[in-house]
Amino acid sequence: MKRVSNKTKIVILQGSPNAKGNTVILADEIARGAVTAGAKVEKFFLQNLNIASCNACQSCQEPKAKGCVIDDDMDEIYKATLEADAIVFACPIYWFTMSAQLKQVMDRFYAFVTPDGGHRFAGKRIGLAFTFGGDDLLDSGCINAIRAFQDAFAYIKAPITGMVYGSTGAGSIRKNKALMRKALELGHQLAAK
């Protein structure tokens, strides 16, 4: 494992409503891998934050705009993700795609579109972590969430470093040793410069 500078910063956005659930366990293993590789990790448990929906006012796209005009906890996420070298998006799959908590945050990142059509996430390393109750990527709908993130991050030129996902029952993710190893390794990869 390659050791990196403590200056490497990773932000984890946990989009599960269950603070002790499988998604959080998987995201915590990614964090553990990143920390053992020397990175600093900051986590946001979205369920506990006051984050409004994007209201499509377009104020963030005005020539002299300084970002989103909505004053809520998203301001903390904006600041942390701008300073981050890597960002992990973690969520359970609900009704065949990402959770509402994470989708709301994704919509608000529209404020990071730059005047030249770029995005402030361009070049940041991206990690994905999903848990689901189906038997595979297709019947669970996880493939839909993966595709949404692939399309979004390809568009804004932020490379997906890796992803981990797995089928789970309540609290059972820890039993999937292979998946937990992959999560730990993803943390190492996100920490590497």
Average confidence (pLDDT) over 107-120:
87
pLDDT tens digits, one per residue of 116-153: 778 888 889 999 999 998 878 888 999 999 999 999 99
Q: Is there a domain that residue 96 lies in?
A: yes
Average confidence (pLDDT) over 93-120:
91
Percent of the chain with pLDDT over 90: 75
pLDDT at residue 31 tops 60: yes
Average confidence (pLDDT) over 188-193:
91
| pLDDT at 78 (0 to 100) | 96
At residue 5 the predicted structure's pLDDT band, cuts being 50, 70 and 90, is very low
Q: Is there a domain that residue 3 lies in?
A: no
pLDDT at residue 4 tops 50: no
Q: Is there a domain that residue 86 lies in?
A: yes
Chain centre to alpha carbon of residue 178: 21
Q: Is there a domain that residue 98 lies in?
A: yes
Q: Is there a domain that residue 77 lies in?
A: yes
Domain count within the chain: 1
Q: Is there a domain that residue 4 lies in?
A: no
Q: Is there a domain that residue 1 lies in?
A: no
Q: Is there a domain that residue 128 lies in?
A: yes
How does DSSP assign 66-116, residue by residue?
Answer: -S----STHHHHHHHHHH-SEEEEEEEEETTEE-HHHHHHHHHGGGGB-TT
The CATH number of residue 132's host domain is 3.40.50.360
Range of the domain at 93: 9-191
> Mean pLDDT for the chain?
91
∠ at Cα 156 (65, 76), nearest 5°?
50
pLDDT tens digits, one per residue of 64-92: 888 899 999 999 999 999 999 999 999 99
